[in-house]
Structure 1
Amino acid sequence: MQKSSELKTPTKNDLKKFTQLIWSTNISKGLIAIGLAGSLLTTFTQLMIPLATQQFIDGIEFDQFGPWLAALIVGIFIFQVIFNGFSNYVLHKIGQRVVASLRSFLWNKVIKLPVSYFDQYASGEVVSRITNDTTIVQNLISSFFPQFINGILSLFGIFIILVLMDWQMTLVMLTAVPLALMLTRPLGKKIAKVSREMQDETASFSGKIQQTIAEIRLMKSSTAEGYEQLKGEKDIEKLYTIGLKEGKYMAIISPLIYTLMMGVMVFVIGYGGVRVARGQMTTGQLVAFLLYLFQIIFPIITFMNFFMQMQKAAGATDRISSILEEKEEAEEQGEDRSIADLPIIFDQVSFSYEPEKEVLKSISFEALPGEKVAFAGPSGGGKSTLFALLERFYTPDSGEIRAGEVSIEIISLNSWRSQIGYVSQENAMMSGTIRSNVCYGLPDADKISDERLWEVLEMAYAKEFVEQFPGKLDEPVGERGLKLSGGQRQRINIARAFLRDPNILMMDEATASLDSQSEEKVSSALKNLMKGRTTFVIAHRLSTIVDADKILFIENGQLTGIGKHEELMKTHPLYKSFAHQQLADE
């Protein structure tokens, strides 16, 4: 994603990329044609108003005024309102359709990106791209682009009419155009640059706010309000400074344009008054000239706003495109294979998150069907990374993971992950109901009967407390399940695993953060869940894995010991030290 330090003036390539992005949303060409036709009719009626006003004034002056002339003027105003309203609605609809399609593209893309992508970018920043950047593109299409088109048509039409009307007066008016461009273009570029900077800083600020609110309990329990207050005020002050910089440029450019246009108007009135006195033009023509002059002011301001918004949209397009160009996980590619009754084999697997910083070094082991395989060792040794590789969040740098004789890379991601159940100590939940959390991610979840849900809840020792809720299966659990206790959330997660009926079970010390009463029930539920399944366990407490079929001791990314508890007590000094310390304490 492009940072604010990379601000640049939009190029033809930026415009091309923006156009390609818009057309990729498959917007209706018919709607575009209708919207532009409405803009054309709106411009035409707007151009008729000064001419009708001229006829009105000259009609009064020469005693030729009649009801038909008044009706014509009123009719032009009515048609202008109708055409303008219709055109604005159609173009606004196009903008809304584009932003809906872009958000759909981005959302569908984001949920298919690999975990490694989210290691690089904060969630708030990604959310900002889906919401803020697409809104910028929408505003350009539905608001600024129609004004830009109307402005071009207006200027073109006004120029033709004025030349036909009085070419000398037209030349007087046109002298202001190059002067206006010369004075405002440098400032316009600076304003656009500051606007882009404001856009990036706002996205960053939004991400920080989202993160703080998401972890509001951590902030409160850590009494970090003061720290967050200072950090927030610092970011707000930065936005304020950028806003002031934008205001400074606007404070210069607005009076310049106003003074320039007023000067032109005074000159036109004076020069026009002389020509009227000499009989070279009528009073109505002079008034029409002044009205056209007013109509020229708005397109000039519109052009400035359009190009500034175009700069913002160019930055937004870069960031949207950068997400759309990211490589997705190939969920559907590969074969649908059952891994039931197949051993899981790690063969010389090495992995690093960053170049030259190996986290795992040539790990090799085999987990037979139905075995309980535990990973033990010091923190930071690589145990969680082994789980991440099993889940295929990452791909090994070298070596291979196989299911039997088949590399797991050959199996489609959907097929592989659907056969894995994961119960972590974080007991993650989605906001929603107990029902939606137990069924989360399963195809045809709406077809799963209540009887089956109560069955898996009973197996997970969760039926009793769920029955006590007023909403029972449809009881809301709150954001991240915070209306439930830690033990309740864990048992809901176990119920979800029962419902998935996985061939492989992965547990990251699922009872580590529970009280003794909850731990007893969760442990009983987990024993039921592990029956007949290949189970991988990350152990933070050795007491939970003394019955494992294999214990793998991982330290500094290397497998330094493998065997049952009794074997490692005899052959592995560090494991023995760990065991004496922990088991003695317990």
Structure 2
Amino acid sequence: MMGGPVERSMDFKGSGRQLLRRLRPERAVLYAMLAMSAAGIALSVIGPLILGRATDLVFAGVIGRQTPEGATKDEVVENARRAGDGNIADMLSAMDFTPGQGIDFGAVGAVLLTALAVYAAAGLFMLVQGRLAALAINRTVFRMREDVQAKLSRLPLAYFDRQPRGEVLSRATNDIDNIAQTLQQTMSQLLNALLTVVGVLAMMFWVSPLLALVALVTVPVSVAVAAAVGKRAQPQFVAQWKTTGQLNAHIEEMYTGHALVKVFGRQRESAEAFREQNEALYRSGFRAQFISGIMQPAMMFIGNLGYVLVAVAGGLRVASGALSIGDVQAFIQYSRQFSQPLTQVASMANLLQSGVASAERVFGLLDEEEQEPDGPSPSKLPSPAGPGRSAARGGRVALEHVAFRYEPEKPLIEDLSLTVEPGQTVAIVGPTGAGKTTLVNLLMRFYEVTGGRITLDGTDIAALPREELRSRIGMVLQDTWLFGGTIAENIAYGAADPGAVSRERVEEAARAAHADRFVRTLPDGYDTVIDDDGTGVSAGEKQLLTIARAFLSDPVILVLDEATSSVDTRTEVLIQHAMAGLSAGRTSFVIAHRLSTIRDADVILVMESGAIVEQGTHESLLTAGGAYARLYAAQFAEAVAEVD
């Protein structure tokens, strides 16, 4: 349920490591990025020490101008002690000044120019590092998208039957985009933060080991706070992206079926479901951002606490003469540089957790069980000859004791045997759920049989490459599918090389499917552009285009699953005549509920509960008075008969 307990990340650390492994092909770029970052950080941490030297020069000039000219440094220190100013004497003893001499602006200018050059070089190195990081990240995300696309092509049809399309789209788009954004905003910053901490810590110990230990007091507190907040925030990010996928799935379904939603007056229920899921997304997103948002102010407070401790301890060290003011100034800058990366990492915690939550979802998709791969040395069928040569084209299909079940405990087809000779038209009829479409799915190897085998021209289809098998089969489904493009491009999609198909072949296929007439009435004819929903084309016209696409593929086997259900009676008759000519030399499987469409079939199979209960011609089955006769009577007789 949407309002139930928040689902925790299955393996946050494992998903994070798997995401890092995705960067391995960019090792060379990453090493160069690391070198640029190290050089930039090294120069940036030297900067405060150089500026501290400038502060010492300025302060020494101020002190020198206030002391009597001609005296020595030791005399000035001794005079201060005699006057009872021991602390000032200790501080002056640690300074390098010349009594009577003011600020050496030449030396100060040289130091400042050196600092400017150092910071400019550091900035240049960091610029190159950022470009290299962008290159590595975009290449990695590019490969990830390719892997997801390839994975989707290898997943079995059963996976898409279980998953809402919006959920799959969310993983392939939203989650990958979120991973890209996370890597772009965190990878180089995390690297810089780590190197900065190491470099600054080294300089802090170089300047004053005691003050360095004081600065490190706050580190365990920072780590404990970050771990506590991160542990509470991560499940919320997992819930956020899971809910995002569910919301996308709902929107996709409601938009696709918006006409039916309005027809049945379900706008209120649809809006209420959207409101509930939107509310769940708001709650999980708010909690994730709120909890993770606590981290940055908490880390800033701890950093400021460390800053105060360093300032107090540094002042005491200056007063005792153990450090110069410039060293303390440099150390205070280092303490700020030391705490700043920790605060940055804390502020990026929400991005990291969100990105890893998305990575977990994408890796879950990539880890899904794939369809069985083709064998190493698959059998191949002989190349088909031209139309009308049934012997050469082949098309003999045999089902030998086939068994299949979608779920192990629920058998659907048991011990089904059937032989279809080349050129025959086989009609498959029966009540809903009898296994008609399942039989075609097994022939196409969308699903694999659980028992027995199916052969094509004597070759077990399980030993054939799927691409080879499906290239022999033309399929037209009840649900039409068109893509955004011209009508000619949609028809040519059925060819092995759509780009090489001539306009004459496209028009010939359209005429065979009786689509040519309505296509020519469109504003741009075959060059009319339609979108993926086929806007501007009726349901029956879309079906005609898909039939023309199947005709263009010139298949050995033709499968029509309720292919004429969306066309009018006159067009249905025309298609039947066209199919009679086109099926010469082809084995045809026709799944139909409207029995008027399959009267001329060579063999009619009547299926019930996954088994063939009758087979024969239209006339012989009517004469037998069995299941087919009852189906026929239910559709065409005046008195409705009960269908067993």
Confirm or deny that 1:151 pairs with 2:193: yes
1:33 to 31, 34, 43: 31
Contact 1:95-1:139 within 8 A present in 2 as well? no
1:180 to 216, 222, 236: 222
% identity of equivalent residues: 29
1:154-553 matches, cutoff 5 A: 154-250=196-292, 252-304=294-346, 311-325=353-367, 326-328=369-371, 330=373, 334-338=378-382, 340-553=393-606
**Letter aligned with residue 555 of structure 1:** E
Q: Distance in 2 between matches of 1:9 and 1:454?
A: 56
How far residue 523 of structure 1 moved from its aligned partner, in angstroms, is 3.5
In structure 2, relative to structure 1, the CA distance for the partners of 1:332 and 1:137 (3 Å cut) is: farther
Q: Deviations over 1:338-376 (max 9, x none)?
A: 473342112221211111211222222221222121111
Aligned to 1:356, the other structure's residue is in SS state coil
Contact 2:395-2:587 within 8 A present in 1 as well? no
In structure 2, relative to structure 1, the CA distance for the partners of 1:81 and 1:407 (3 Å cut) is: same
Q: Distance in 1 between matches of 2:262 and 2:578?
A: 33
In structure 2, relative to structure 1, the CA distance for the partners of 1:177 and 1:142 (3 Å cut) is: same
In structure 2, relative to structure 1, the CA distance for the partners of 1:73 and 1:359 (3 Å cut) is: same
2:57 aligned partner: 59
1:569-580 matches, cutoff 5 A: 569-580=622-633
Contact 2:23-2:140 within 8 A present in 1 as well? yes
Q: Distance in 2 between matches of 1:264 and 1:55?
A: 24
Q: Distance in 2 between matches of 1:290 and 1:565?
A: 96
In structure 2, relative to structure 1, the CA distance for the partners of 1:301 and 1:197 (3 Å cut) is: farther
Aligned to 1:257, the other structure's residue is in SS state helix
Aligned to 1:579, the other structure's residue is in SS state helix
Contact 2:402-2:416 within 8 A present in 1 as well? yes
Q: Which moved more, 1:301-310 or 1:235-244?
A: 301-310
- Could you tell me the TM-score, scaled by structure 2's length? 0.84
How far residue 101 of structure 1 moved from its aligned partner, in angstroms, is 0.7
Contact 1:434-1:477 within 8 A present in 2 as well? yes
Q: Distance in 2 between matches of 1:273 and 1:311?
A: 41
Contact 1:360-1:558 within 8 A present in 2 as well? yes
In structure 2, relative to structure 1, the CA distance for the partners of 1:322 and 1:10 (3 Å cut) is: closer
How far residue 531 of structure 1 moved from its aligned partner, in angstroms, is 3.1
Contact 1:421-1:504 within 8 A present in 2 as well? yes
Q: Which moved more, 1:213-222 or 1:350-359?
A: 213-222
**Letter aligned with residue 114 of structure 1:** P
Contact 1:53-1:73 within 8 A present in 2 as well? yes
How far residue 529 of structure 1 moved from its aligned partner, in angstroms, is 2.8
In structure 2, relative to structure 1, the CA distance for the partners of 1:180 and 1:581 (3 Å cut) is: closer
In structure 2, relative to structure 1, the CA distance for the partners of 1:478 and 1:499 (3 Å cut) is: same
In structure 2, relative to structure 1, the CA distance for the partners of 1:251 and 1:580 (3 Å cut) is: closer
1:109 aligned partner: 151
Aligned to 1:438, the other structure's residue is in SS state helix
How far residue 444 of structure 1 moved from its aligned partner, in angstroms, is 2.2
Q: Distance in 1 between matches of 2:133 and 2:235?
A: 27
Q: Distance in 2 between matches of 1:315 and 1:202?
A: 12
Confirm or deny that 1:142 pairs with 2:143: no
**Letter aligned with residue 464 of structure 1:** R
Q: Distance in 2 between matches of 1:306 and 1:247?
A: 11
Aligned to 2:12, the other structure's residue is in SS state coil
Aligned to 2:412, the other structure's residue is in SS state strand
How far residue 555 of structure 1 moved from its aligned partner, in angstroms, is 1.2
How far residue 311 of structure 1 moved from its aligned partner, in angstroms, is 4.8
Contact 1:99-1:134 within 8 A present in 2 as well? yes
**Letter aligned with residue 56 of structure 1:** A
Q: Distance in 1 between matches of 2:187 and 2:129?
A: 12
Confirm or deny that 1:555 pairs with 2:595: no
In structure 2, relative to structure 1, the CA distance for the partners of 1:388 and 1:37 (3 Å cut) is: same
Aligned to 2:411, the other structure's residue is in SS state strand
Q: Deviations over 1:88-115 (max 9, x none)?
A: 1110110000000111111022123221
How far residue 332 of structure 1 moved from its aligned partner, in angstroms, is 8.1
In structure 2, relative to structure 1, the CA distance for the partners of 1:179 and 1:580 (3 Å cut) is: closer
Q: Deviations over 1:183-217 (max 9, x none)?
A: 33212221233223323222332333333333333
In structure 2, relative to structure 1, the CA distance for the partners of 1:122 and 1:523 (3 Å cut) is: same
Confirm or deny that 1:75 pairs with 2:73: no
Aligned to 1:297, the other structure's residue is in SS state helix
In structure 2, relative to structure 1, the CA distance for the partners of 1:497 and 1:520 (3 Å cut) is: same
**Letter aligned with residue 195 of structure 1:** F
Unmatched 5+ stretches in structure 1: none
How far residue 6 of structure 1 moved from its aligned partner, in angstroms, is 4.8
**Letter aligned with residue 64 of structure 1:** D
Aligned to 1:358, the other structure's residue is in SS state coil
In structure 2, relative to structure 1, the CA distance for the partners of 1:331 and 1:222 (3 Å cut) is: farther
In structure 2, relative to structure 1, the CA distance for the partners of 1:574 and 1:382 (3 Å cut) is: same
Query: How many aligned residue pairs are there?
Result: 580
**Letter aligned with residue 201 of structure 2:** F
2:69 aligned partner: none
How far residue 4 of structure 1 moved from its aligned partner, in angstroms, is 6.7
How far residue 289 of structure 1 moved from its aligned partner, in angstroms, is 2.0
Contact 2:494-2:553 within 8 A present in 1 as well? no
Q: Distance in 2 between matches of 1:254 and 1:87?
A: 25
Contact 2:416-2:611 within 8 A present in 1 as well? yes
**Letter aligned with residue 381 of structure 2:** R
In structure 2, relative to structure 1, the CA distance for the partners of 1:123 and 1:81 (3 Å cut) is: same
Where in structure 1 do 4 or more consecutive aligned residues deviate above 4 Å? 13-16, 305-318
Q: Distance in 2 between matches of 1:453 and 1:73?
A: 72
**Letter aligned with residue 188 of structure 1:** G
Contact 1:4-1:200 within 8 A present in 2 as well? no
Q: Distance in 2 between matches of 1:537 and 1:41?
A: 71
- Could you tell me the TM-score, scaled by structure 1's length? 0.92
Contact 1:561-1:572 within 8 A present in 2 as well? no
How far residue 337 of structure 1 moved from its aligned partner, in angstroms, is 0.7
In structure 2, relative to structure 1, the CA distance for the partners of 1:498 and 1:332 (3 Å cut) is: farther
Aligned to 1:355, the other structure's residue is in SS state coil
Contact 1:487-1:522 within 8 A present in 2 as well? no
Q: Deviations over 1:16-43 (max 9, x none)?
A: 53344433xx32x321122111111221
Q: Which moved more, 1:301-310 or 1:123-132?
A: 301-310
**Letter aligned with residue 218 of structure 1:** L
How far residue 328 of structure 1 moved from its aligned partner, in angstroms, is 4.0
In structure 2, relative to structure 1, the CA distance for the partners of 1:341 and 1:569 (3 Å cut) is: same
Aligned to 2:422, the other structure's residue is in SS state coil
**Letter aligned with residue 46 of structure 1:** S
